[in-house]
Structure 1
Amino acid sequence: MKFEDMDVWKKSSRLSANIYKTFAQCRDYGFKDQITRSGLSIPSNIAEGYERSGNKEMINFMNYAKGSAGELRTQIYIGMEIGYIDKETGKTWIKEATEISRMLTGFMKHLQTRKER
């Protein structure tokens, strides 16, 4: 299997692309940079971790991805509060980011119980 086959990578990549599209015309470059970077960090860390050797390294990168998902949720909440993200889009993104976190947690538990590859 490749990281491109992982549902969590696919889901996080789509979310990142949606965030980029939504903020393409945003002139608040500080906020735009932060939210697009945290969104991009999730699938990037999943891919990097998957390409590393050994479960321990992979778990570390899945943890980084999970941390980025929490960072992204925070930025979505703030974006909704300040009017940059409409409530329905924000709720959808929060739900997706939360599901990605759950998927990463499950994957890390799986890695902890299997033998080194």
Structure 2
Amino acid sequence: MEIWQNARKFCESIHQNCLLNDRFQRYDKTQIDRASWSIMDNIAEGFEREGNREFVNFLAISKGSAGEVRSQLIRTFDRKYLDEETYLKLKNESLEISKKLSGFINYLKNSTHKGNKFNSNNGE
């Protein structure tokens, strides 16, 4: 799924630019790491639920985690842990993921297909 692949790349960007950054030594790196992984993990978990309503819920959690990462990026930039170019790059990546998540949420909410677990051919 493209949105999951984007979230995976974003996690790697956070890892490379934040967790491996020497300026982060006194910062709680684990929180930004957990929040970035939460984006992709909730996409995967929601997908596996096989129902659009649950998937939408997990996508909303992912979107919330993207907002959390942005808040943490602002704080790290304010504390001079990131230069402006890196901060803007990461912030824009997270905004792009949030926009795609919103679009996907809207698509699923308007879809007539409610998910595989509601398919009458699934043996239930």
TM-score by length of 2: 0.84
- List runs of 5+ in structure 1 lacking aligned partners: 1-5
Pairing 1:1-117 to 2, within 5 Å after superposition: 6-22=1-17, 23-24=19-20, 25=22, 26-28=24-26, 30=28, 32-114=29-111, 115-117=113-115
Aligned residues: 111
Which residue identity lines up with residue 82 of structure 1 in the other structure?
A: R
Which residue identity lines up with residue 7 of structure 1 in the other structure?
A: E
CA distance in 2 between counterparts of 1:55 and 1:46 reads: 12
Question: Once the 2 structures are TM-superposed, how far is the Cα of residue 21 of structure 1 from its aligned partner?
Answer: 2.3
Larger radius of gyration: 2
User: Structure 1 segments of 4 or more deviating over 3 A?
Assistant: none
CA distance in 2 between counterparts of 1:97 and 1:18 reads: 10
SS of residue matched to 2:50: coil
8 Å CA contact retained: 2:13, 2:90: no
Bigger drift between 6-15 and 53-62 goes to 6-15
Which residue identity lines up with residue 108 of structure 2 in the other structure?
A: L
RMSD value over aligned CA atoms?
1.2
Question: Once the 2 structures are TM-superposed, how far is the Cα of residue 27 of structure 1 from its aligned partner?
Answer: 2.2
CA distance in 2 between counterparts of 1:116 and 1:9 reads: 20
CA distance in 2 between counterparts of 1:27 and 1:90 reads: 17
